[in-house]
Amino acid sequence: MLKAILFDVDGTLAETERDGHRIAFNQAFAEAGLEWTWDVDVYGDLLAITGGKERIRHFIDHYQPSYPPQANESTWIAGLHKAKTTHYLRLLAEGAIPLRPGVRRLLDEARAQGLRLAIVTTTTPENVTGLLEATLGTESIDWFEVIAAGDIVPQKKPAGDIYIYTLAQLQLHADQCLAIEDSGNGVYSAKAAGIPVLVTKNAYTHDDQFTGAVAILSDLGEPGDAAQAHFGLNPANGYVDCAYLQALVRSADEFAL
């Protein structure tokens, strides 16, 4: 029986990457006097690496091999990432990043039905509260019993750490929960914790491997604006509601890839 919905953030609650994080990284690079610009395509490749600090280091190692190593590079990267977060929070506060279709509707229904809610993300905790405040209002932060984010676990997605941590915080079993994710890394992470996963794809993750997902949709859908089912159970109403999520959990074994 479904007890809790575990929401990924970037790409799932909102399309934060192309016009949010990517812009903020570029603004931080320019501010630091670096001639690095992550265009839409390069950023799409870099999204294979989760975590902004890890992504910067990967970029240096694989795209800027001649870049002079900084004394204490980790501290330097952390400082650059902190600047990026400041730019990203400003973009959020300016209302640059709306929620994806169906997110607000599903959150409202889940709360009305007494389902427990959690956030399970690789992004920095301030980015989560910044997105929630900008799109749902400050009080929405309290809708989520757990906000598991960023460096709170030793290994980020695709490792299962962040989902295992969230189950422990909720004191629930994996089969009492359902994760909603957008990426292959996210599916891998939730599956590593034994949690059934619903995927809502986006432009950046369209060609990811979602092995193990119980269903793959274009988005959560809205009344009058149906979600497209790419794999697994098709939402009876054309959009994801709590009854659909309950059906997914009940039949998770039957529909998994």
166 lies in the binding site for ligand XBP (CB under 6 A): no
129-144 burial, b for 16+ CB within 10 Å, e for fewer?
A: bbbbbbbbeeebeebb
Query: Which of residues 4, 5, 6, 8 is near ligand XBP by CB under 6 A?
Result: 8
Q: Which stretch binds ligand XBP (CB under 6 A): 46-54, 70-78, 213-221, 245-253?
A: 46-54
**Which runs of consecutive H residues, i.e. helices, occur in the chain?**
22-31, 40-46, 52-63, 73-93, 103-112, 125-136, 161-170, 184-192, 242-250, 252-255
Answer whether the bond into residue 158 is a cis peptide, omega within 30°. Answer: yes
Which is the catalytic residue, given 10, 161, 219, 241?
10
**Residue 206, number of CB atoms within 10 A of its CB:** 10
Query: Which of residues 87, 100, 116, 157 is near ligand XBP by CB under 6 A?
Result: 157
- 145's CB contacts (< 8 A; 6+ apart) are 4, 116, 117, 118, 169, 170
51 lies in the binding site for ligand XBP (CB under 6 A): yes
Q: In whole angstroms, how far apart are CA 138 and each of 68, 87, 96, 133?
A: 42, 20, 17, 4
Instruction: Specify whether 10 is catalytic.
Output: yes
Instruction: Specify whether 8 is catalytic.
Output: yes
Closest to ligand XBP by CB, 46 or 247: 46
Q: Which stretch binds ligand XBP (CB under 6 A): 48-56, 92-100, 222-230, 237-245?
A: 48-56
Instruction: Spell out, one character per residue from 86 to 125, where the chain touches ligand XBP: x when CB under 6 A holds, - when not.
Output: -----------------------------------xxxx-
158 lies in the binding site for ligand XBP (CB under 6 A): no
Query: Which of residues 26, 127, 129, 166 is near ligand XBP by CB under 6 A?
Result: 127
Tell me the closest approach of the beta carbon of residue 87 to ligand XBP, in angstroms.
11
Identify what 21 binds: ligand XBP, Mg ion, none; CB under 5 to 8 Å per kind: ligand XBP
Report the half-sphere exposure of 22 (CA within 13 A, side-chain side). 19
Q: What are phi and psi of 148, to 5 degrees?
A: -95, 115
Bridging pattern class, strands 229-232 and 215-217: antiparallel
* Binding site residues, ligand XBP, CB under 6 A: 8-11, 17, 21, 50-52, 121-124, 127, 157, 183, 186
